[in-house]
Amino acid sequence: MYRRLLTGLQSATLRLDVGIQRVLPQDFNPLYYTGGLANLFLTVLVVSGILIFLYYEPSLEGAYASVEFLTRDVPYGVVFRGIHRYAADAYMVAILLHLFRNWFTDRYREARDSQWLSGMVLLVFSGLAGFTGYLLVWDERSQMLTSLTVQALRSVPLVGHWLAEVFVGGPGVSDTTLPRFLFLHVGPAMALYVLLWWHYVRLRHPKIWPPAVWVLFGLGLLFILASVLPATSGRPAQPGASPEGFPVDWFYLWPYVLARWMAPGWALALVVALLAYGMVIPYTLRETPEERGLRALGQAVVVDENCTGCELCYYDCPYNAIYMVPSPAPGKSRAAANRKLLAVVVDSRCVECGICIGACPFEALELPRMLDRDVQQRIQRGAQAPAAAAT
């Protein structure tokens, strides 16, 4: 059932591409660059964030006023604030598209699990940075979010009260609260860059930028949105006040909407459960490749005798699965006799694509279940017309 659903989703995803390619050339399909788009918007967030940071004052009395000052009195301040907000939304859209596309097109299993797992952790940190951003303004919305979060954290068994204190920096909201929120906003955002290193470590030449047209289009869109729909604050937070509702940013604040129907603790539990499920997805599907209708050709194997250490496979492997090591002994073939290096395939990274085989000019790499010899025979059979078929 589940498998059928995913097959259907895969087919639909690719059907969508067919539609997009009626309008755009193949390699401009933005869905092929969702990771790059996410990186673009993240970069915009960092740059605009630094500009906002220069004006921000993390204190109960000063925070709201400092954001207002930026919005009203600093030239183009309102544009920067808007860009920061809309880039955050665009970023979330991009990583969700990226997540679903990688999921539906099977780019998350087996040797690709490390990218998926690091991606989920990136998602957690992005969400954290996103919602703490709304706390910093210290308007009525910030106040409500704070109290809902404290309620949710308190209902965690055993460590709940401690978590709530860590969150607001003491038993209740105090002078330490906003500096703490500022850290909870900027800290996870910086951590994203460490996590991105993990995300990219198994990818050769990750495409971290979309085509220039999309970069310009994305930036233009942010400028226009920020100018036409300026980002604003609500009314300033009042100690003791209990505001009725708040404008919702659906990309980051949806769990707080749930709190209208369920205890905040349960909304938190739901979010945690969803993310935990996301992290185990690559390990939940137990079928073998055969059951999924794939030919499992086995991971690439280096033929020690023939490898010359030329490094061509190392440059072409898209998953950084080939390491060049100092050759322990000379190879047997003439070309390999004087080699300095030997190629080694790292099994946990190899996705069985065979790209290295196409790269190797010395017959020193094989996919175990599709040998060079057999392919050559089939080529010759296909190239020589069976006499009967000829006229």
Partner 1 sequence: MATKTETAQGTPVRVVGFLCDWAVRSEGLLNPDDTLVGMPHVTVIRVPCSGFVKPGWLELALRSGAAGTFVCGCPMGDCLNREGNWIMEDRIDQLRKRLARQKVDPDRIAFFAYGLHDQQAFLDAVQAFVDRLRALGGGKA
Least distance to ligand SF4 from the beta carbon of 306, Å?
7
On the 0-12 / 13-18 / 19+ scale of CB atoms within 10 A, 344 is middle
**Residue 195 in tokens:** 């996590």
Phi first, then psi, for residue 373 (nearest 5°) are -55, -50
Binding site partner of 345, from ligand SF4, partner 1, ligand HEM, none, Cβ cut-off 5-8 A by kind: ligand SF4
Q: Which is nearer to partner 1, 176 or 376 (CB)?
A: 376
- Figure out which of the listed residues 42, 52, 178, 321 binds ligand SF4, where binding follows CB under 6 A: 321
User: How far is Cα 148 from Cα 265, in angstroms, rounded to an integer?
Assistant: 9
Number of chain residues interacting with ligand HEM (CB under 6 A): 25
Binding site partner of 106, from partner 1, ligand SF4, ligand HEM, none, Cβ cut-off 5-8 A by kind: partner 1
- Figure out which of the listed residues 122, 168, 313, 321 binds ligand HEM, where binding follows CB under 6 A: 122
Using rule CB under 6 A, residue 319 touches ligand SF4: yes
Site string for ligand HEM, 88-107 (x = CB under 6 A): -------x--xx--x----x
Other CB atoms within a 10 A radius of the CB of residue 384 amount to 8
Task: Give DSSP secondary structure letters for 230-276.
Answer: -----SBP-TT---S-----HHHHHHHHHTTTS-HHHHHHHHHHHHH
For the chain, where are the E strands, in sequence order? 301-302, 322-326, 341-345, 365-366
**Residue 334 in tokens:** 């003439």
Which residues of the shown chain bind ligand SF4 in the complex (CB under 6 A)?
A: 299-300, 302, 307-313, 317, 319, 321-322, 343, 345, 350-356, 359-360, 362, 364-365
Which residues of the shown chain bind partner 1 in the complex (CB under 8 A)?
A: 11, 14-15, 17-18, 21, 26-27, 29, 32-33, 105-107, 203-205, 207, 294-295, 297, 316, 318-319, 351-355, 357-361, 367, 370, 372, 375-376, 378-385, 389-391
